[in-house]
Amino acid sequence: MKLKFNHAAAAIGGISALLVMAGALLVSHPAAATPKFAAETGKSCGDCHTAAAGGGPLTPLGEKFKANGNKMPK
């Protein structure tokens, strides 16, 4: 039995994939922390993040910073 290729279904699938990818780009947000912030505050990235180079889950200090409107807690 020979299968037929359905061009319309393939086109719809391709368009759908492009729309999903475009939507993901529109709703994504860049990270707010930067090396400049670390230099200005004297804090290393690892002070707020579990990974020493930054990124990953937040440490307790990072959670307090986030809860304080992205300002260093006093």
Decide if 45 is inside a domain.
yes
Q: CA-CA distances (angstroms) from residue 7 to 10, 11, 14, 19?
A: 5, 6, 10, 18
Decide if 2 is inside a domain.
no
Cα–Cα distance measured from residue 41 to residue 26, given in angstroms and rounded to the nearest whole number = 31
Decide if 72 is inside a domain.
no
Structure confidence at residue 30 (pLDDT): 55
Decide if 73 is inside a domain.
no
Q: For the segment 19-65, what is each residue's pLDDT rounded down to a tens digit?
A: 888 777 676 555 566 677 777 888 888 889 998 888 889 999 989 98
Q: What is the total count of domains within the chain? A: 1
Decide if 41 is inside a domain.
yes
Decide if 1 is inside a domain.
no
Is the pLDDT higher at 2 or at 17?
Answer: 17
